[in-house]
Amino acid sequence: MITACSNDPIEPEFKITGSNFELMSEGGEISIDVIHNVSYSISIDGSWISQNRSKGSDTEKLVFSVAENPTNDSRKGSITFTSPEAGATAV
């Protein structure tokens, strides 16, 4: 026999930590925590940014590598998280 405590619907949850990261020209790694109970997708704008790994289930720690900038010119990229189920987009 299985019983449930409530018939209340579960509210979609989708949050990320951090929004701006600055790295030196040597590049490096950034970590972003994603707290969610819905599916989401990731879009990366910047060929020098790549996703390394993720850990967790409801809370994931995503790690991204940022390649060295050999020219030392300023550059900007973005990592966009989108969850249609939560009706949210975070950059």
Which residue in this structure is represented by tokens 């300023």? 74
Which strands sit side by side in the sheet containing 49-56, from one edge to the other?
Answer: 14-16, 28-36, 59-66, 49-56
The CA R_g of the chain, rounded to the nearest whole Å, is: 17
Share of the chain above pLDDT 90, in %: 27
Q: Report the pLDDT averaged over residues 45-72.
A: 84
**pTM of the shown model:** 0.77
Q: Report the pLDDT averaged over residues 69-85.
A: 88
Sign of CA dihedral 41, 46, 47, 48: negative
Q: Please say if the pLDDT value at position 64 is more than 80.
A: yes
